[in-house]
Structure 1
Amino acid sequence: MASSDKVSLTMDKTKAHDAITLALLQRFETAKWAAKQAHDAAINEESVAENKYDTFGLEASYLAHGQSQRVLECQTDWQLFEKKQAVLYGDGLVGLWCLVTLSRVGDSESEKYYFISPCAGGLSLEVDDKSLYLVTLSSPVGKLLTGKSVGDSVDLLQGGVKLPYEIINIE
């Protein structure tokens, strides 16, 4: 397959960025809802201890605290993407905020899309019927891709087997 054919198969970075921002907003909204539920359970009159062995109220307050911490984390993640515009990078090296397209060596139909993100590593979502994975610089895949350029090969561990991929696009 010609390299111009491969480029046409890549994912649009602006769409990817918008989809990530929306997914992080939805995660933030869900965290807020869960924190409210935990808070309501913690202050409910049924949470008052009836004896020294009744720890439901204490457990509910711990859960409410943990959920409030989660809300702050999700809000920070969402705001990072909300405030940042999708920018196409021209230096040709994989780094933070890059969208990387990989093609499996020997199988040009098998592509993977990774967004190098400052947060929310492990999040995966669908963009134009293609799976997009967020990885951080400190993750195994992030470390493997960082500093690479178009045409470089990387081996991704899948199901306990290392499979060769070629970087076909960096945005």
Structure 2
Amino acid sequence: MKKSDVLQIVKSELKNRLDTAKWAANQAHEAATSKESIAENKYDTFGLEASYLAHGQSQRVIECEDDWLQFNKVDFDLVYQQVAVWCLVQLVAIDDESVSERYFLISSCAGGLKVELGSALVYLVTPSSLVGQKLMGKSVGDEVSLMQSGQEVLFELAVVE
């Protein structure tokens, strides 16, 4: 797995999120400002609810844009000895062949996003997440235990890029 391939897929996914958020914000804005949103009586709250939705969608656009811009400013060519922000980490299960290897990209934003590269999934985790906290500062060969399907599984750090 090449880090550059993962980064291209993540950037593409973040751009898709931004485009979708912009479309949703435009739809919500149109609903909030249409003639049909004018209240017919004091109990008609459709216009008010539509304006709240439009505001929330606008905030979502800002968040998505921040994530996308942040990913486009980072120098991903740095070499790491320990897990840090912007590292791609591969974990291999110890003593459990039923658990496949896991890939994590430590990111300062967009935590929770997962992207598919071939048959592998790459999970974006922030340093403040539970998985991120367990990985930060570790080196190749270190062991990490993670919960998988309600059971604790021991992994070995195989790659830090």
TM-score range, shorter chain: over 0.9
**Residue type at the aligned position of 1:130:** A
**Residue type at the aligned position of 1:133:** Y
Q: Distance in 1 between matches of 2:4 and 2:78?
A: 9
| Gap runs ≥5 in structure 2 | none
**Residue type at the aligned position of 2:60:** R
Match in the other structure for 1:104: 93
Match in the other structure for 2:14: 24
Match in the other structure for 2:129: 139
Q: Which moved more, 1:78-87 or 1:27-36?
A: 78-87
* Partner residue of 1:75 out of 65, 68, 76: 65
Q: Which moved more, 1:103-112 or 1:71-80?
A: 103-112
Aligned with 1:78: secondary structure?
A: helix
| Gap runs ≥5 in structure 1 | 1-10
Percent identity for Structure 1 against Structure 2: 54
Corresponding pairs, count:
160
Are residues 1:119 and 2:109 paired?
yes
* Partner residue of 1:159 out of 139, 142, 149: 149
Q: CA deviation at 1:107?
A: 4.3
Runs of 4+ in 1 over 3 A off after TM superposition: none
**Any idea what the Cα deviations from partners look like across 1:111-133, whole Å, max 9, x if unmatched?**
10000001010000101221000
Aligned with 2:100: secondary structure?
A: strand
RMSD: 1.2
Q: Which moved more, 1:80-89 or 1:128-137?
A: 80-89
* Partner residue of 1:33 out of 19, 23, 39: 23
Aligned with 1:103: secondary structure?
A: strand
* TM-score of the superposed pair, with normalisation by structure 1: 0.90
**Residue type at the aligned position of 1:116:** I
**Residue type at the aligned position of 1:70:** R
